[in-house]
Amino acid sequence: MQDQFLEALLSIVHNNQVTFSITLTTPGGLIRGTLISTKEYFDRFAEAFASAWPGENREVLRTGLSQWGEERFMEGDVDAFIHLKDAHFLNGDGSYTKNSEVLWRGRVADVSGYSLGRG
């Protein structure tokens, strides 16, 4: 069963371009980061991927990847995926990874719990 409250939070983020910190419980462990819209996720993904592209056509690639978010944004529905920026993963020793600017995408159905903030 889907968490309707989590879906409502995702809809608020998706339709109003607001963000907030969240910690998610998933089968893979705890993940914390900033909840972002599908559009922002694909814009950021497209920029990072295209900037690392070793040749011409970076702008074509960036535009093509970014359109995934544009199309999803225009649909207005809640996405089946949840998107985080600045994601950190809980290590086995109880500390979180220290890398920054990590984008994360996971299925909403795989989130078994969450808390606001970076728990």
What pLDDT shows up at residue 64?
73
What pLDDT shows up at residue 69?
67
b/e for 71-92, b at 16 or more Cβ within 10 A?
ebbeeeebbebbbbbbbbbbee
Q: What is the mean pLDDT of each run of 10 residues along the chain (119 residues)?
A: 86 88 93 92 85 74 70 62 92 79 92 89
pTM above 0.85, yes or no: no
What pLDDT shows up at residue 82?
93
What pLDDT shows up at residue 31?
93
What pLDDT shows up at residue 98?
80
Give CA 93 to chain center in angstroms.
25
